[in-house]
Chains A and B, each alone.
Chain A
Amino acid sequence: MGEGWDGGVNCGETSWPCITSVSPVIPVAELNHVIDQLAASIREAAAQRTPLRIVGGGTKDFYGGALRGETLATSAYRGIVEYDPTELVITARAGTPLAEIEGALREKRQMLAFEPPHFGFIPSPLNPRRVEQVPSVQPMDATPERASAPESRRAHVRLHGHIPINDMGPLLHASAHPLPKQPEAVASLTPNPSPGARGEHRAADTDRLDREGNVVSAMPADRMATLGGCVAAGLSGPRRACAGAVRDFVLGVRMLDGNGRDLHFGGRVMKNVAGYDVSRLMAGSLGTLGLILEASLKVLPLPAAEATLHLKCAEAEALALMNEWAGKPLPITATAFRNDDLGVRLSGAGAAVEAAAKRIGGTRVDTMLAGSFWNGIREQTDAYFSDARPLWRLSVKSTTPPLDLPGSQLIEWGGALRWLKTDAEARTIRETVARAGGHATLFRGGDKSAGVFQPLSAPLAKIHQRLKQSFDPAGIFNPGRMYPDF
């Protein structure tokens, strides 16, 4: 493997380094202090019954019910705890920027296969990070302990030169043409707010706690998605239908419950059925059950080859094609349909991608453009999402025929995910979607007073309330973020 495996800590008997990249060097004592501070804030809030709003990068503030409570920032608890590429597992702290995690994985040609949307600023691969080498501060502690092993710090990685997510405009040009210039990537290093950003909490990714535990912004920075927010929001991107969702990749979490207790569930291994799967329960729980301190995720290798095709077709035909392909052994890793245009991404071994591309037909899209296109779908910067009407997320059975709802749609996940820009009434939408065996979420904008998520049946609502009560008896974590009644 030689190349790219830059020696270092010996993990067990293999010679691979456990840890490949760590963000700001934070001494263990300081990290423990951060946990103590967070736990103290939680205990105090519980005693006073003061609502707390858990914030990572604040990039998903738009998602879910109204924001209530005093901010409890996870940003000071950051850094990769352990990453051994050959174990296919990464463990990182909640405040770690998602971009940093993805960067560390990319260095080892691996990825978060669920392609989580950031909905914030992502350092551009076109503008590589400046890596400052800092001599090792502390060797990897070999003694096993419950708390995260201290990291080895061989590389101090700082993120420089953020660029905004680009709206590439009308994408999916069949490009026999030369590549259009990408002005945004070159011209602008100035961040512009991501859709839905409100701006009342900035600089989360560089916040630090001072000795008194106050949040101090180290520098005015852009909002960057964090690992904690990614797991808590539970959102997955274009690869979801093929690879699985966040919850499918969560192997373990460390969390603070509503009494400030430091709890570990799951682990750092691929298979683990000891006890209830509380770690997966945390995925998508919107911070209502506890504060995620650390998460261990399964990672996968980057595909060797990728190709994007596009086909002109009507909605019904696109749905038929996507469902037909999904029943064949084809390496399809993403689909997106809008404006009578179906995008299909193939990933895997080179020969397999080529063979599948022949079989599927359509027009091949240039690699750069294809990358921007899928990024636009994942980050919702595609032109489709610029429509001013509220955005609904409809999760349905993939074979559901075209939904008879007013507005414009973008279809992903082989037909199982339908985005809808509409002014239609919530009740109409929810009823239509429920008939299709699914559920509707008011994703962005619109009137949230009628609830953001599909109402639960009475027996499930009761279980939800009891689970909430058991993890957060004082009801302080993100009240109303998921359902109005807890």
Chain B
Amino acid sequence: MTAVTETPVDLMRQREAAAALRTFLPESSVLFEREDVKPYECDGLSAYRQVPMVVALPENEGEIQRILKTCFALRVPVVARGAGTGLSGGALPLGNGVLLSLARMMRILEIDPRARTARVQPGVRNLAISEAAAPFGLYYAPDPSSQIACTIGGNVAENSGGVHCLKYGLTVHNIVKLRALSIEGEVLEIGSDGLDAAGYDLLALMTGSEGMLAVVTEVTVKLLPRPSRAQCMLAAFDDVTKAGQAVANIIAAGIIPAGLEMMDKPAIHAVEPFVNAGYPLDAEALLICEADGTDEEVEEEMRRMHEVMRASGATEMRVSRDEAERLRFWAGRKAAFPAVGRITPDYYCMDGTIPRRHVGKVLRDIAGMEKKYRLRCANVFHAGDGNLHPLIMYDANDSDQLQRTEAFGAEILELCIQVGGTITGEHGVGIEKINQMCVQFTAEELEAMHRVKHAFDEHALLNPGKAVPTLHRCAEFGRMHVHSGQEKFPDLPRF
């Protein structure tokens, strides 16, 4: 995540592109003055910054189509952006490209309460969908922690999850149809109003494709009936491995909780003074476990979870008595990132997923890395689905710390691969984890992915340089690894 050197904007290209866009867009929809485009220089991963050549702010699909056709004709690359809350630099602009902001595409086009679907424009905020569906007793299930700000278009691009995805799935499980435009401006109707569509599952391929295949102009999402009741339990453990085992025991007992989160001691200590959630400060690990459904379901599930937690050695358990308390239990977890942000100038959030059974080993190894890199790390963990968010604390003004942070993060990601996991569970590869893609995939696999992109975008104009590294880049990265003596996977091919 070392900041890359900014590409200077090509003023000739800029004039040409802006003039072409201005032929059909109002002045206020085409930005290119430095002070106007500066706010778009980064997304949620602020270590990477690049001022875009031009920012286009379309207000309808017709405008997007003309922008794409124009860029295609001029061979100008396009980076689509929603709210810019992404954590992997997926919406990092290009100095020679158009940043296509979909923030003005924020209309909820239709809510069909009987069919339980909502058709919305890509710039609609995640939470706004649930708010609009609430009068019908429905909601949109994926709830990334940034849901008050992040847009559904960005959620599709990143296949966003949230704290409830063990039971309710990711974005890919909760959308039924997309309307999208190819870089050539052709309309792609992907999915259907039914539960499947003819041909290849392009809906799955589009979800999580980081804006590299097509630009989404409409999303039809599935709405679920709001559970009549939800209840939350806190369980404290004096050992992270025991807490990890408790999670396994809950699954083994046949329970799929609506939420199952873990926080380690540093995370608890960062959060508690910040939100007063009532977390036990002497615990080594804390599980937050939620049941939802009908009254009967919740009652039975809470009783069984209580039994399993006790048998797994929980030192303290607390069950929410009312909705206010349930929300307070969650408040701590949901505030974990800002709480850590309060105690350190900067933090770097990782996103690996591991087979859950390795959580003890992985957390211990991370503790070892804290000493090795002389940096603190707090861990929050979507324990139910094995998605780990270590938050490495550092000071970006200290370049040595920044470098150590980067190495620390890379080592965590490679550890995740080593134990059979993946470098990114829900934040996406973007620009941030692109080097680790070379560790997770072989050259042939990466090539296959490049060919998938080529099938949609043969001139590589949509968000080029993100998510899938070139083999050339991997070759450079591979050498880097040999140099720093971190060749940890001798059985993995290097290129």
Q: Contact residues of A with B, CB < 8 Å?
A: 1, 5, 11-14, 16, 84-89, 109-110, 143-146, 234, 240-241, 244-245, 247-248, 257, 261-265, 267-278, 280-281, 283-285, 289, 300-302, 304, 323-324, 326-331, 348-352, 354-356, 395-399, 413, 416-417, 436-439, 441, 453-457, 459-460, 463-464, 466-467, 469-471, 482-483
- Bound Cα distance A383, B438 (Å): 54
| Contact B199–A396 (Cβ < 8 Å) | no
- Bound Cα distance A324, B136 (Å): 12
Residues of B within 8 A of A271 (CB): 161, 165, 170, 353, 382, 385-387, 422, 425-426
A to B CB contacts below 8 Å, 16 in the list: A13-B245, A13-B361, A85-B252, A87-B386, A109-B254, A145-B491, A234-B196, A269-B353, A269-B354, A270-B425, A271-B385, A276-B205, A327-B138, A327-B225, A437-B193, A454-B198
Residues of B within 8 A of A12 (CB): 355, 357-358, 360-361, 419
| Contact B137–A270 (Cβ < 8 Å) | no
Within 8 A of A (CB), among B248-266: 248-249, 251-256
Most buried by A among B116, B190, B489: B116
| Contact A276–B198 (Cβ < 8 Å) | no
Residues of B within 8 A of A240 (CB): 195
- Bound Cα distance A278, B442 (Å): 14
- Bound Cα distance A12, B189 (Å): 45
Most buried by B among A277, A399, A471: A277
Residues of B within 8 A of A300 (CB): 256
| Contact A396–B202 (Cβ < 8 Å) | no
| Contact A14–B248 (Cβ < 8 Å) | yes
| Contact A323–B196 (Cβ < 8 Å) | no
The digit string for B376-399, where 1 denotes a CB below 8 A from any CB of A, is: 000000101111000000000000
| Contact B427–A273 (Cβ < 8 Å) | yes
- Bound Cα distance A144, B444 (Å): 20
Residues of A within 8 A of B444 (CB): 261-263
Residues of A within 8 A of B387 (CB): 270-271
Q: Which residue of A lies closest to B165 (CB)?
A: A271
| Contact A16–B248 (Cβ < 8 Å) | yes
Q: Which residue of B lies closest to A469 (CB)?
A: B455
Shortest Cβ distance from A475 into chain B, in angstroms?
A: 15
| Contact B226–A329 (Cβ < 8 Å) | yes
**B373, CB-defined interface residue at 8 Å:** no
Residues of A within 8 A of B448 (CB): 257, 261, 263, 265, 278, 470-471
| Contact A1–B249 (Cβ < 8 Å) | yes
Q: Which residue of A lies closest to B157 (CB)?
A: A273
- Bound Cα distance A86, B226 (Å): 28
Residues of B within 8 A of A350 (CB): 300
A352-B226 contact, Cβ under 8 Å, with A270-B386, A277-B159: no
- Bound Cα distance A174, B434 (Å): 60
CB contact between B192 and one of A261, A395, A459, A471 (< 8 Å): that residue:
A395
Q: Which residue of A lies closest to B167 (CB)?
A: A300
Shortest Cβ distance from A57 into chain B, in angstroms?
A: 23
CB contact between B440 and one of A14, A88, A274 (< 8 Å): that residue:
A274
Q: Which residue of A lies closest to B301 (CB)?
A: A349
Q: Which residue of A lies closest to B161 (CB)?
A: A271
Which bucket holds chain B's interface residue count? 35 or more
Q: Which residue of B lies closest to A413 (CB)?
A: B195
Shortest Cβ distance from A110 into chain B, in angstroms?
A: 8
Q: Contact residues of B with A, CB < 8 Å?
A: 112-116, 136-138, 158-159, 161, 165-166, 169-170, 172-173, 182, 186-190, 192-202, 204-205, 207-209, 213, 225-228, 241, 244-245, 248-249, 251-256, 293-297, 299-301, 353-358, 360-361, 382, 384-387, 418-429, 433, 437, 440-442, 444-446, 448-449, 451-456, 467-468, 489, 491-492
- Bound Cα distance A275, B421 (Å): 14
Residues of B within 8 A of A470 (CB): 448, 451-452, 454-455
Q: Which residue of B lies closest to A240 (CB)?
A: B195
| Contact B199–A349 (Cβ < 8 Å) | no
Shortest Cβ distance from B395 into chain A, in angstroms?
A: 29
| Contact A417–B195 (Cβ < 8 Å) | yes
| Contact A281–B355 (Cβ < 8 Å) | no
- Bound Cα distance A185, B213 (Å): 52
Q: Which residue of B lies closest to A288 (CB)?
A: B200
- Bound Cα distance A301, B360 (Å): 24
- Bound Cα distance A380, B161 (Å): 36
Most buried by A among B187, B248, B353, B424: B248
Residues of B within 8 A of A482 (CB): 199
- Bound Cα distance A16, B356 (Å): 12
Q: Which residue of A lies closest to B436 (CB)?
A: A274
Residues of A within 8 A of B441 (CB): 264, 274-275
| Contact B297–A304 (Cβ < 8 Å) | no
- Bound Cα distance A273, B419 (Å): 17
Q: Which residue of B lies closest to A85 (CB)?
A: B252
| Contact B172–A437 (Cβ < 8 Å) | no
Shortest Cβ distance from B189 into chain A, in angstroms?
A: 6
CB contact between A463 and one of B197, B423, B456 (< 8 Å): that residue:
B456
- Bound Cα distance A331, B297 (Å): 10
| Contact A269–B115 (Cβ < 8 Å) | no
A301-B254 contact, Cβ under 8 Å, with A273-B427, A280-B205, A327-B116: yes
Shortest Cβ distance from A482 into chain B, in angstroms?
A: 7
CB contact between A416 and one of B194, B358, B451, B453 (< 8 Å): that residue:
B194
Shortest Cβ distance from A333 into chain B, in angstroms?
A: 13
- Bound Cα distance A283, B173 (Å): 14
